[in-house]
Amino acid sequence: MNQKNHPLQLNVGFIVHQSIGFSRDFQFDTSHIHLPPDLDVQDLSGEVRVTRTTEGVLLQAEFQGDIPIECSRCLDDFDITVQTDFTELYVF
C-alpha cells in the first residue's frame, strides 16, 4: 500500500533477515490524519524505532499531534496537543 494514503503503515519485512540488534528509525510527519471512528489529528509527528530481537521485532514509538476539541464551559473550539508513546513486541 501507498505511504501517502496510509501514512502510519510501515513495511518492516526486510528486518526479518537482519542480525539480532539491528534497528532502523522511521520519522512521521503529516499535516492531517483521520483515525476512525471520529478522531482528526492535525500536525501529527513522531518517530518509530524498529529493532530485530531474538524473539522477533520490537517497535518503540513516540507521537504527538493536535486535536480539535470544544470547551464544555464556553463552547469555543480550540486545539489541544496530545502525546503518546508505546512499545510492542511482535513475536515470530
Task: Centre a 10 Å sphere on the Cβ of residue 39 and count the other Cβ atoms it contains.
Answer: 12
The pLDDT of residue 4 is 60
Distance CA 25, CA 27 (A): 7
25: amino acid identity, one letter: D
pLDDT at 58 over 70: yes
65: amino acid identity, one letter: G
The pLDDT of residue 70 is 93
Cell numbers given for 91: 513475536
Extents of the domains making up the chain: 27-91
Distance CA 62, CA 50 (A): 12
Task: From 19, 41, 23, select the one nearest 32 (Cα to Cα).
Answer: 41
Q: Per-residue confidence at 1, pLDDT binned at 50, 70, 90?
A: very low
- The predicted-structure confidence for 77-88, as pLDDT tens digits, reads as follows 999 999 999 999
How much is the mean pLDDT over the chain?
Answer: 92
